[in-house]
Structure 1
Amino acid sequence: MSNTSSITQFLLLAFTDTQELLLLHFWLFLGIYPVALLGNGLIITTIAWDQHLRTPVYFFLLNLSVTDLGSISTIVPKAMGNSLWQTRAISYAGCAAQLFLFVFYLSAEFFLLTVMSYDRYVAICEPLHYGTLLGSGAFVHMAAAAWGTGLLYSVLHTANTFSLPLCQGNSVEQFFCELPQILKLSCSDAYLRAFKLLVFSTFVILGCFVFIVVSYVQIFRAVLRIPSEQGRHKAFSTCLPHLAVVSLFISTGLFAFLKSPSISLPSLDLVLAVLYSLVPPTLNPLIYSLRNQEIQNAVWKLMPG
């Protein structure tokens, strides 16, 4: 039986080693990655540059773009390199670093989305108290708490995962070092050690999910009480991009991590991984910019001429 100390590298076996398909995967990643870089980079630059966007909601959006940029940059360049050079290997330290950073950015994004739902709740349901509840740097502290919680969450999972003895080889059925796939390599008795942390994580994730749902139930109730149709439309339009991003993140991510191992199939795991790791970072900037006139105006101001 091999253990963690005997493993010097992992093999990422999500994609076939056929040369034509490897090149296809490379070009697929090459098409997606620049779009995510451009979209998120443009939002970060625009919000940081335009003083009219120095408000809590845009500060949260800037942080969200940073997490999207970080998460996709953690996994895609390595996957592109492996496809281009026709290799499957990633070092033990590289795998641990990739897992840590990806879980960090992904969890920080989820906690930021939770904080942003509170921001929208206060803006719609308690507009007279918005300056008090989110003013004087309170929104900065909330964002810092989301980042700090994501960091703690990632440290716990990474340390716990790579402290387990690995008895099932070093082959990872994924194109990056994904947490559930690494846990599959652990010994059966060691997996039970990780189960408690997984249960705790599930409660944290579900707790944030319930908070988001309750916040939007209250938001919808408040919007429906607005007498004018124009007022209802304006209030709802301020929440629609965030609601769309939350729905995209949850629909692509939660099932991948909370689904039963008994329904784990390599093809299903690969599709889910592509959905939750590549789709949100690519589409989030588009979702926010399409329905936000202030961002569109600020972007046009950045354009030369």
Structure 2
Amino acid sequence: MQTFDYVRAQSCAHAVNSASTLELTRYLAGGTTLLDLMKLDVVKADHLVDINRLPLQQVETLDDGRLRIGALVSNTALARHPQVVTHYPVLAQAIMAGASTQLRNKATTAGNVMQRVRCNYFRDGVSPCNKRQPGSGCAALGGLNRSVHAVLGTSDHCIASHPSDMCVAMAAIGAQVTLQNPQGQSREVNFADFHLLPGDTPWREHALEPHELITHVTLDAPLGTSRSGYLKLRDRTSYQFALASSAIILVMDGPTVIEARIALGGVATKPWRAVEAEQHLIGQRMSAQLMSEVAEMALKDARAYAHNAYKIPLGQQVIARNLRDLTAQESV
């Protein structure tokens, strides 16, 4: 692990100003991804700006019904928060499906949003990887790409899947990410636009400008009398990243779907919102045939690689099973 200097930020302004005046600076919160990657010598940092004492640990309901989450709220605290449990149960389920208790206690909301990929070629430090070394190639394209590689949103430059469970639920709910820059200005980015597809620039994973700091994530207002569920399929049930997962939110009038949100994890290079599949549900009576149609539609643009073709039917299954469980009494 390389040596680095350490600065403890006293305010958001102090944090972003410190980051903007020091070379190769990283923000340190829970450190559950950052420190691992620094130990592997995959991520370089000459300076760490510790933001743990910033006043970003509150969860508050806004006047318009949205839920504003501070960047430093731990995953455990967020999953257990009464407003999340009551109004956003799919988020609580997704968080509790991820990592271990110890990691959830340490990991933060913003850190989870910024979580890096689990691709073994990215993390080994020596294989060609365009995320780690732009222009070097992608070893996963012709290598072992079974579990942590995507079938949606891939490119010829990167096929690593996004690892977060929490972000899949947030993609289904809808959210805004609040960023602060060194000039003291704040801006909001739609959650759906925050994570970038790899395209020709896989090393750019997020819609952050240099030295910007995430201060909050604000969830859209809950969908009235909705029902929701997070289903995660993995090799083992304990502390494992998703092979395929789905976060689904439904508003029903008897057997008829009034509104629907579907997001996928494990199968895509970013938290994946299946908008076309959602629209196909609206106004229709739930049935086994409809579930199958929606599942196929969500994966219709999938592209399989040597070892992960199974993720296409698995992704379809994780949608159909989730829909079945949420509408068991209303399905016709």
TM-score of the two chains, using structure 1 as the length reference = 0.29
Q: Which has the larger radius of gyration?
A: 1
Task: Tell which has more relative contact order, 1 or 2 (C-alpha 8 A, sep 6+).
Answer: 1
